[in-house]
Chains A and B, each alone.
Chain A
Amino acid sequence: MTMSTGAAEREYILEIEGLKKSYGDMAVLDGINLGIESGEAVVAIGPSGCGKTTLLKCVNGLETHQEGTIKIDGREIGADGFDWRQARQKIGMVFQSYDLFPHMTVMGNILLGPMQVQKRKREEVTEQADALLDRVGLADRKNDFPRQLSGGQKQRIAIVRALCMNPDIMLFDEVTASLDPEMVREVLDVMLGLARQGMTMLIVTHEMEFAKAVADRVLFMDGGIIAEEGSAREFFEKPTTERAQRFLNTFYFE
């Protein structure tokens, strides 16, 4: 699913300007500006509490913001005539805590959104789901219940469930943070594959090596702002701000 971007035009799937959010007196997001082009994989890193997760939640409306604008495919969130249900179909989100629906089989989980929200035909969605399950190596688990799967498998299913809605952009919120170490790789490989195929992605992660491999662009967030931004290479080899240097140093041991 490669998306062709014209050389001249800048086609933003997601465009954020001056985004601010606070809980009471505490500012969580303090003026975020960000544009993500079609096909770009952007990774947000930073210390905990820096606002990464809140940023993702604002983008798909699980949190509301107080100032600034968020545009998805050129349409502003919260503007007149803006339809959340329609917008959310374009935004796939995968959470840290997998959150498959425990009373449904793998296939039931995947079919729910496309059939109930998008009113698509069962056969057509099943065909797509089969292909995606095959791609993440879980074709044989489609009739299993979530309890029968490992953490890594559940997270791959959660990714397939989001993909089956044919989103324009995928948001990943620390999807490997609650996995056992040996299962992290299988999930990251799936995400890396998606990025290579040109999926537009905004990823929040603590996996630095993965960030290096997958990111077209890295955002370093601290204190509710994007403190530094650059290509993965620039950022990891020569971070310019002191805060970023300090943050990166915490990941190295002598």
Chain B
Amino acid sequence: MPNSGFSVLLSVNNMRRLMIGLGGTLEIALLSVAISVVAGLFYGLLMTSKNRVIYGICRVYLEAFRIVPMLVWLFLLFFGSAIAFGTNLDGFFVSVVAFSMWGTAEMGDIVRGSLISIPQHQRQSGEALGLSFWQTQRFIIIPQALRRIAPSAINLITRMVKTTSLVVFVGVTEILRVGKQIIEFNMMTNPMASFWIYGFIFAAYFMVCYPISKLSKKLEAKWSY
């Protein structure tokens, strides 16, 4: 029987390890996304501030994460913290912090954009009815802003999930790292292993991200008015 190399995926042990790796990826992604969405809402509200100093600081923070590659941030936090505090921070912890900081910046910009896109007339109509500032926000501005946030926020989430593959460089056990180990272990006996393992990782990312982007389409249709 010609060895197609597929057998590498049939090994229970390999499969178990890949799944644990996928779990690591998802754990970092989910934690960072959750933190980013909540913190990003407040950060976005802060960014609509008319105070120039507050806005300026927010802007610098956002640009810092836009301009500097994520990998550099990971290294900066991982090795920087070691030099600064003399302790080795856990790679998992550093990854969640770095991804949350990035996600918060991007999410905040999305929130800011959608808040300022609500026409001024909507606020005036609310006030003319006697609604207070916070009632106007709660019943009129935020519900409309949320609907506009959804598509770009979900786009950001899928980007975050994909970018977590970088955490392999700070020593976190995630799916890509596990895959490489399996490939290297089977290098001699199964030269086709890399094809099947990377194929599996491709499929795994697809299975995670596709439903998320599908959800975005669904929400868009449901919330259009």
Contacts and interface: CB of A to CB of B under 8 A. Distances in A.
Interface of A: 60-62, 84-86, 88-89, 91, 93, 95, 97, 99-103, 112-113, 116-118, 145-147, 161-162, 165
A101 B131 contact: no
Interface of B: 121-122, 124-132, 135, 139-140, 143-144, 147, 225
A126 B132 CA distance: 22
Label chain B's interface by main secondary structure: helix
Closest 8 CB pairs of A and B: A113-B129, A99-B125, A88-B130, A117-B130, A93-B128, A89-B130, A99-B121, A85-B130
Contacts of A118: 130
Contact of A101 (B127, B140, B147): B140
Contacts of A93: 128
Nearest to B135: A116
Contacts of B132: 85
A88 B128 CA distance: 6
Contacts of B130: 84-86, 88-89, 113, 117-118, 165
Contacts of A97: 121
A202 B143 CA distance: 33
B100 to A, nearest CB: 30
B139 A112 contact: yes
B225 A88 contact: no
Contacts of A101: 122, 125-126, 139-140, 144
Contacts of A161: 129
Given A60-B128, A91-B128, A145-B225, 18 more contacts: A61-B127, A84-B130, A85-B130, A86-B130, A88-B128, A89-B130, A95-B125, A99-B121, A99-B122, A101-B122, A101-B140, A103-B143, A103-B147, A116-B131, A117-B129, A117-B131, A117-B135, A165-B129
B182 to A, nearest CB: 50
